[in-house]
Amino acid sequence: MSQIYCMENAHGQLVRDLDFNPNKQYYLASCGDDCKVKFWDTRNVTQPVAALEEHSHWVWNVRYNHSHDQLVLTGSSDSRVILSNMVSISSEPFGHLVDDEDLSDQEERRPEDKSQEPPQDGVIATYEEHEDSVYAVDWSSADPWLFASLSYDGRLVINRVPRALKYHILL
């Protein structure tokens, strides 16, 4: 019954939401009225591990994808929903790792596979279907590639992760 962590001035203004990473025990994301999303390691809360500054108004929601924690969803008073890729702090920063010995004799290692550069952090897509502030975003519990957003005017929008990114993550 005592305080474990305290993040003084985590955001310049109010903190609106936070979400724990479902796949990395000590990581959480927070968002607030400073238009930023910050990612924290609770073992060292002196400064964020990473930050996103893509919104132009208060960020009301932040949500990690339950299956693929590099996918982060945010909703804001700027009427936008932003899907970001935070692969550098995800549970699989280099994707699914395959050793050369794991490949069978029929599978050959293609030279272009070795020269692929790792994915970078950043915005994957910006969704601007809302005409008013977006107050809620969330991932589907049944389909890890499906998410919904809800705005002040009552508009519910359902979207999917872009197909190319989905296959890049899976393959």
User: pLDDT tens-digit profile of 112-142?
Assistant: 554 456 678 999 999 999 999 999 999 999 9
Any idea which of 26-40, 65-79, 103-117, 128-142 has the lowest mean pLDDT? 103-117
In terms of Cα–Cα distance, which of 11, 21, 19 is closest to 58?
Answer: 11
CATH architecture of the region 15-91+119-170: 7 Propeller (2.130)
What's this model's pTM, rounded to 2 decimal places? 0.84
Token couple for 36: 């930023």
In terms of phi and psi (left: phi > 0; alpha: psi -120 to 50; beta: otherwise), the region of 154 is left
For residue 2, the model assigns a pLDDT of: 86
User: Burial code of 112-141, b = ≥16 C-beta within 10 A, e = fewer?
Assistant: eeeeeeebebeebeebeebeebbbebebee
Is residue 15 helix, strand or coil? Answer: strand
The domain spans of the chain are 15-91+119-170
